[in-house]
Structure 1
Amino acid sequence: MIRLDPQNFEASDGARIYYYSTPRNLDTKAVLIIVHGMAEHAIRYTEFADFLYRRGVIVYAIDQRGHGMTGTFDGTLGYFDDVDGWQRIVEDINELTERVREENPDLPLFILGHSMGSVVTRTCLIDFGGLFQGGVIVGTTMGVSKAVRSLGKAIAKAEIAKYGPTHPSERLTKMSFGSYNKKFAPNRTEYDWLSVNALNVDTYLKDPLCGFTCTSAFFYDLFTGLDYANDPRNIFRMPADLPIYLISGGSDPVSNMGKEVRALYQRFKKADMKDVSITLYPGKRHEVLNETNRREVYQDILSFIQKHF
């Protein structure tokens, strides 16, 4: 298994951002930036990075603010920033992208985001999609309705005013994710919805950098990001010729069993996107990159990248 090399950079606001990369060699043909999901971290993508590395694609995987090494050294997990946290994490990706392009000016660059990271990635593709040769959107969501997002933001603002921005919000966690496991009753664990792969679920549960309760400010930022990424006017700002690959588990409750991924596909097509493809894996759940058929998923992503070198 390839070792992911830990590195860091100072963001434009002075924060220290940690990321991991695989080494370049003579066989390298492309670069992929990986943006992880909520309450997890970049090291969980090591097996996927190893698969790609052995087939000519090097990886840069960021630990976003409030997550992994970045959150550990900052001191607060599940928290982006006091003000404009969503814009801040998107700018972190932009700044990492600049570094990646400086180090690999001759290689095509792709970006992949999972779950929350897929919404971050969609925002990046709206704001600076011209920097990439393609985007892979994994386990995404259109989010709860706009009315519910507005309610969530109001609750988050009230909690921030009462408890401060770094208050872990059990209420918003339950509101956002409380129904997911019910679809798989009787449940073995509280995270059965993550994966059919029981070993993956158990590993997640044992990982101190996974499954933590995120803060009130985090949820405000997340709802803000969903509003932005789902706005049809913003989707029209994505480069029309940018290749997009949507993938999800067919039994992923985050996407309402794939329905929201299909809806996003149609929204991209209505925005005159010329190269949008979609794969739903029947019976698989949220973390398709860690599922029982993950090698199939890896190969599908690799084929997309190779098609668009």
Structure 2
Amino acid sequence: MPFSQQRLVRSPTGADLNLLVRHADGPPRAVIHINHGLAEHAARYARFADFLAERGFHIYVHDHRGHGATKAPDAPLGKFADKNGPSKVIADVDAIHDLIASECPNLPVILFGHSMGASVALNYLLAHSPRVHAAAIWNGNFSQGLLGQAALGILAWERMRLGSDVPSRLLPKLTFRAWGKAVPNHRTLFDWLSRDEAEVAKYIADPLCGWDASISMWRDVVSMALNGGKDAGFAGIRRDLPVAIVGGEKDSASDYGKGITNLANRMRKMDFSNLVSKVYADTRHESLNEVNRDIIMDDFAAWADGVLKG
């Protein structure tokens, strides 16, 4: 079924956040707050929301700034903000958590993020972990190090050369398009997303997907990933917080699963005691749209069940 509700939520940042809600089919057990990836939008999570609602979860998912139907004076499609983009994105996420707390005051909240949304979720966790009962960080890469710094240098050069905040010319070539070309026998440059040809076709046909982000949005996205790579930022998170870190073995965006393993190993070294991680064989970037998505969703539901029972 479609989402139960669609409405605009005013954030303290001035953004009108397009929020989709799917209520649990029966008595609710928890709320799952989904954070979507770069150059996509909240409505693409309808199948996952239905799956979770059947198992007793409310689902809240909003379009981030510069995405989907969210509107903000400083955030046209492809741009987070004129300045302080990451902090505004995190403040928007917090506004949704305020709403969840008012509408579902007695329910635990599981934070979920895919790709760029994994960076958003992790950065939110670094600042607001007491608000979260558990966190799922999917298909992210927080091990960019020198490559991330080099990307920031490229973006600074582009901004200086082009003179305005226009779509980056180089970062899409170094990321989305390079990843697409790296897929053996690829049909399209978006085959890196999934082995499911129908899902790739839907992505390509969607006018709210696959656009080229602005220079500033790329800078903000890279900065959030680099921030998630700093161990010092994890100091305020309780070490028994349930965390699931998931990715795919054939996902070029996470360095073929190495980004998943690296984050999990880092957190284990920091004594996180309630952490699970898995890299799915042959799986590309969009786990929820992959040919093995039923297995992956079942695994997520089993983890969430364990979190709530624990």
Query: Same fold by TM (over 0.5)?
Result: yes
CA distance in 2, matches of 1:273, 1:77: 37
**Partner in structure 1 of residue 255 of structure 2:** 256
Cα distance per residue 1:234-253 (max 9 Å; x no partner): 12332211100011112111
Deviating runs (4+, > 4 A) in structure 1?
A: 71-75
SS of the equivalent of 1:254 reads helix
Partner of 1:173: 172
Where do 1:42-121 residues align within 5 Å? 42-70=42-70, 76-121=76-121
Deviation of 1:161 after TM superposition, in Å, equals 4.0
Query: How many angstroms apart in 1 are the aligned matches of 2:10 and 2:71?
Result: 14
TM-score (norm 2): 0.94
Segments of 5+ residues of structure 1 without an aligned counterpart are none
> What residue in structure 2 maps to residue 7 of structure 1?
7
For the 8 Å contact 1:71–1:78, the answer to whether it is kept is no
Q: Give the root-mean-square deviation of aligned CA atoms.
A: 1.8
Tell me what 1:156 maps to. Answer: 155
Q: Which residue of 2 aligns with 1:295?
A: 294
Q: Does 1:279 align with 2:273?
A: no
Is the 2:195–2:290 Cα contact (8 Å) retained in structure 1?
yes
Alignment of 1:10-21 (within 5 A): 10-21=10-21
Cα distance in 1 for residues equivalent to 2:301 and 2:229: 27
Q: Which residue matches 1:215?
A: 214
User: How many corresponding residue pairs?
Assistant: 308
Q: For 1:282 and 1:53, how far apart are their aligned partners in 2?
A: 27
The 8 Å contact of residues 74 and 82 in structure 2, kept in 1 or not, is answered as no
**Cα deviation code 1:144-198 (max 9, x no counterpart):** 3x22322322332333345455301121221233431233222100111100111
- Give the deviation of 1:84 after TM superposition: 1.1
Query: Residues of 2 paired with 1:191 and 1:264: CA distance?
Result: 26
Q: Distance in 2 between matches of 1:123 and 1:180?
A: 25
- Supply the distance in 2 between the matched residues of 1:88 and 1:75 (Cα, whole angstroms): 10
Instruction: State the SS of the aligned residue for 2:170.
Output: helix
| Aligned 8 A contact 1:200 1:290 in 2 | yes
Counterpart-to-counterpart distance in 2, 1:65 and 1:165: 19
Stretches of structure 2 that go unaligned for 5 or more consecutive residues are none
The answer (yes or no) to whether the contact 1:289–1:297 under 8 Å persists in 2 is: yes
Aligned partner of 1:218: which letter? M
CA distance in 2, matches of 1:74, 1:21: 25
SS at match of 2:91: helix
Distance 1:246 1:165 in 2: 37
Contact 2:74–2:80 (CA under 8 A) maintained in structure 1: no
**Taking structure 1 as the reference length, what is the TM-score of the superposition?**
0.94
